[in-house]
């Protein structure tokens, strides 16, 4: 069952759904919460000539030389460009809910997608949500941190709440639990 505005507000008021910084009631719509864009953006660097392809495995997230990180108030998303961004809000999903992050129609109408293929937010997830943004439009779009609301979070009550050991983040394979960046940064030495 998808949560409606009164249920979302109740979950927030009771502290079951944790969102930091807090969202104002005007950002809670009929069945979703509007999320703002954060200041962190990550792009895949121009690959070196010796790199014919990549493989999707855990080493991709620790290959720091493949990623370029930016922390700034604006990011220009050019036609054909892809960027990993994050929501300003850190979301903590309770054991009885799952979330779906979706783009907003106003963004789609200018050709900007918000998530390519990963809308599901598992129970127990606790971090800002990474947005997989691409510009399929014909003009550049300036992304403005803390102003733009490109995504919305839809919450679904699951059939049976999960136990602590079943929540996202309980297993070592839960790579993105507690993420602070779209792709991990190399630790500063």
Calculate the average pLDDT of the chain: 91
Question: What's the pLDDT score for residue 184?
Answer: 63
Question: What's the pLDDT score for residue 112?
Answer: 96
Model's pTM, two decimal places?
Answer: 0.90
Please give the structure tokens belonging to residue 51: 């790199």
Please give the structure tokens belonging to residue 152: 């919305």
Question: What's the pLDDT score for residue 188?
Answer: 47
**Domain ranges across the chain:** 5-48+55-162
Alpha-carbon dihedral of residues 71, 75, 77, 82, nearest 10 degrees?
A: 0
CATH match of 5-48+55-162 with 2.70.40.10: yes
Task: List, by residue number, the catalytic residues.
Answer: 132
The C-alpha atoms of residue 99 and residue 87 are separated, in whole angstroms, by 14
Q: What is the pLDDT of residues 46-91, one digit of tens each?
A: 876 667 777 888 777 777 778 899 999 999 999 999 999 999 999 9
Bridge partners (DSSP) of residue 90 are 20, 128
| Residue stretches of the chain with pLDDT short of 50 | 187-189
């Amino acid at each position: 069952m998808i949560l409606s505005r009164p249920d979302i507000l109740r979950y927030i008021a009771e502290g079951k759904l944790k969102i930091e910084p807090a969202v104002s009631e005007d950002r809670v719509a009929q069945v979703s919460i509007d999320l703002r864009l954060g200041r962190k953006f990550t792009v895949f660097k121009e690959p070196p000539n010796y790199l014919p392809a990549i493989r999707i495995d855990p080493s991709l997230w620790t290959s720091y030389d493949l990623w370029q990180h930016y922390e700034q108030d604006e990011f220009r998303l050019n036609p054909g460009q892809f960027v990993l961004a994050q929501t300003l809000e850190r979301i903590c999903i309770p054991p009885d809910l799952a979330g779906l992050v979706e783009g907003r129609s106003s963004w789609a109408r200018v050709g900007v997608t918000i998530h390519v293929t990963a809308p599901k937010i598992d129970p127990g997830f606790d971090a800002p949500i990474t947005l997989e943004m691409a510009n399929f439009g014909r003009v550049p779009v300036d992304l403005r941190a803390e102003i733009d609301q490109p995504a919305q979070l839809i919450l679904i009550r699951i059939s049976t709440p999960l136990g602590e050991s079943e929540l996202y983040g309980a297993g070592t394979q839960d790579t993105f639990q507690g993420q602070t960046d779209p792709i991990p940064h190399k630790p500063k030495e």
